[in-house]
């Protein structure tokens, strides 16, 4: 009986963000001077996952020296009024909103975030510019889309002109990831729960990017020895953070897989810092 050797699966981690954070911290300070004079406003809703991202985003901005105002509201009018208030405040240099919005909110409320303080490309003008432009070095980009590029570049994963599957079709995650990859001449399929031959399509792709929020959706049946798997999923189950990928199942088969926690999430928070630098550079010279 011939025994097949297991693939040496590379675990993709996001802890390299610390070096980039220090770089962008110095860039931001070079424009702002004393960062403690300025404020970041972060809105959250307690809709899911214990506000993990807003808490960690607050920490990353405070590590730069910025003041952070975390704001909880479940009333859309109050939310709109507060966004307008911080938009007109000269000392507030960035505004972010933790998604998803409460079910009673209309997505149009995000239009109140001004283009010059939009930390996660939520304003439709910034989002259109992101879709239309190939200049990702200077335009504001959705944080999750930029996080995917940061991770693949760090690990020297070739993603230009590749066949890539994206699972998940939400505006600011799956679709945003697809838009950024198309800029690199990749062929992108956006799949969902109704897609036919889901496992086969994933197994045939060079890169699988899963952003469904369905714990352990991706297992050994979705991958081969050349597969690179980027896990965007994030759910809290019994107090533990879980992703879309059953990492124990794909280890030894896939070429590389990102970990959860400690993977893309760290780079998403970093990406809002990068967007802050772009905004300051463009609007506060």
For 32, 53, 66, the CA distances from 28, given in Å and listed in that order, are 6, 21, 10
Give percent of the chain above pLDDT 90: 88
Please state, in angstroms and rounded to a whole number, the distance separating the CA atoms of residues 182 and 6: 32
Q: What CATH number did the domain enclosing 248 receive?
A: 3.40.50.720
Q: Same domain, yes or no, for 162 and 204?
A: yes
Q: Same domain, yes or no, for 54 and 167?
A: no
For the chain, the first-to-last Cα distance in angstroms comes to: 69
Q: What CATH number did the domain enclosing 44 receive?
A: 3.40.50.10860
Q: Same domain, yes or no, for 118 and 185?
A: no
Report helix, strand or coil for 207. strand
Examine residue 23 and state whether it is found in any structural domain, yes or no.
no
Is 85:39 a contact under the CB 8 Å cutoff? no
Q: Same domain, yes or no, for 147 and 256?
A: yes
Q: Same domain, yes or no, for 257 and 179?
A: yes
Mean pLDDT to the nearest integer, 47-55: 75
Examine residue 137 and state whether it is found in any structural domain, yes or no.
no
Residue 2 has pLDDT above 90, yes or no: no
Q: Same domain, yes or no, for 159 and 107?
A: no
Q: Same domain, yes or no, for 72 and 154?
A: no
Please state, in angstroms and rounded to a whole number, the distance separating the CA atoms of residues 233 and 210: 7
pTM (2 d.p.)? 0.94
pLDDT tens track for 202-233: 999 999 999 999 999 999 999 999 999 999 99
Q: Same domain, yes or no, for 245 and 149?
A: yes
Range of the domain at 167: 143-265
Please state, in angstroms and rounded to a whole number, the distance separating the CA atoms of residues 268 and 245: 18
Q: Same domain, yes or no, for 122 and 202?
A: no
User: Largest Cα–Cα distance in the chain?
Assistant: 72
Please state, in angstroms and rounded to a whole number, the distance separating the CA atoms of residues 188 and 177: 9
Examine residue 107 and state whether it is found in any structural domain, yes or no.
yes
pLDDT tens track for 119-135: 999 999 999 999 999 99
Q: Same domain, yes or no, for 74 and 166?
A: no
Residue 149 host element (H or E)? helix 143-154
Q: How many domains does the chain have?
A: 2
Q: Same domain, yes or no, for 192 and 98?
A: no
Residue 3 has pLDDT above 50, yes or no: no
Angle CA 47–50–56, to nearest 5: 115
């Amino acid at each position: 009986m011939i025994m097949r050797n297991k693939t040496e699966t590379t675990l993709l981690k996001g802890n390299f963000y610390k070096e980039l954070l220090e770089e962008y911290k110095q860039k931001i300070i070079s424009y702002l001077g004393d960062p403690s004079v300025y404020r970041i406003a972060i809105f959250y809703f307690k809709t899911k996952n214990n506000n993990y991202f807003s808490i960690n985003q607050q920490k990353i901005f405070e590590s730069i020296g910025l003041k952070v105002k975390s704001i909880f509201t479940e009333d859309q009018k109050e939310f709109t009024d507060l966004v307008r208030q911080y938009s007109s405040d000269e000392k507030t240099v960035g505004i972010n909103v933790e998604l998803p919005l409460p079910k009673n909110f209309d997505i149009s409320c995000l239009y109140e975030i001004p283009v010059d303080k939009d930390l996660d490309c939520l304003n439709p003008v910034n989002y259109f510019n992101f879709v239309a432009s190939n200049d990702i070095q200077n335009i504001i980009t959705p944080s999750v889309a930029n996080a995917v590029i940061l991770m693949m570049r760090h690990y020297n994963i070739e993603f230009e002109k590749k066949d890539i599957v994206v699972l998940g079709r939400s505006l600011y995650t799956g679709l945003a990831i697809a838009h950024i990859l198309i800029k690199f001449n990749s062929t992108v399929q956006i799949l969902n729960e109704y897609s036919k031959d889901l496992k086969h399509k994933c197994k045939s792709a060079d890169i699988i990017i899963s952003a469904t929020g369905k714990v352990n959706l991706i297992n050994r049946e979705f991958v081969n020895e050349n597969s690179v798997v980027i896990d965007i999923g994030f759910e809290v189950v019994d107090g533990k953070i879980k992703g879309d990928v059953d990492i124990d199942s794909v280890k030894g088969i896939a070429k590389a897989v990102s970990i959860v926690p400690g993977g893309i999430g760290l780079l998403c928070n970093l990406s809002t810092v990068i967007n802050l630098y772009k905004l300051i550079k463009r609007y506060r010279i």
